[in-house]
Amino acid sequence: MYFSNILLNFDNDAAMINLPFVKASDRFNINSQLEHLQAKYVGTGHADLNRFEWAVNIQRDSYASYIGHYPMLAYFSLAENESIGRERYNFMQKMLLPCGLPPAERDDD
């Protein structure tokens, strides 16, 4: 609901002109464009993003970065006195539920 409000504001706004590839006829398409971005780039936010989803994304990105940067992985494994291979596996496993269980759905009016 909130999201569509933003879109309505775009209608006669200067911001509309700045958006590339958007013609007047495509204006119902902006929704699909955002969706396209969200589908293509994991972690692209949207107006209804809640605190949990945001945190999950950040955590997954962090773990991916720790795994990608080998020195960092080594640094963690020194602290925990585990082998680097085990540390990498643990981080991969933690990417499943990085912030615990999602909160129960609430009906936001």
Residues near another protein (CB under 8 A) = 39, 41-43, 53, 56, 60-61, 64-65, 67-72, 74-75, 77-86, 89, 92, 95-97, 101-105
User: Considering beta carbons, is residue 6 or 58 the nearer one to another protein?
Assistant: 58
Cα distance between residue 12 and residue 57, in whole Å:
33
Closest separation between CB of residue 4 and another protein, Å? 22
Closest CA to 55 of 8, 18, 88, 100: 100
Per-residue DSSP letter, 35: H
Closest separation between CB of residue 27 and another protein, Å? 27
Cα distance between residue 108 and residue 34, in whole Å:
23
Cα distance between residue 6 and residue 8, in whole Å:
5
User: Considering beta carbons, is residue 3 or 89 the nearer one to another protein?
Assistant: 89
Closest separation between CB of residue 57 and another protein, Å? 9
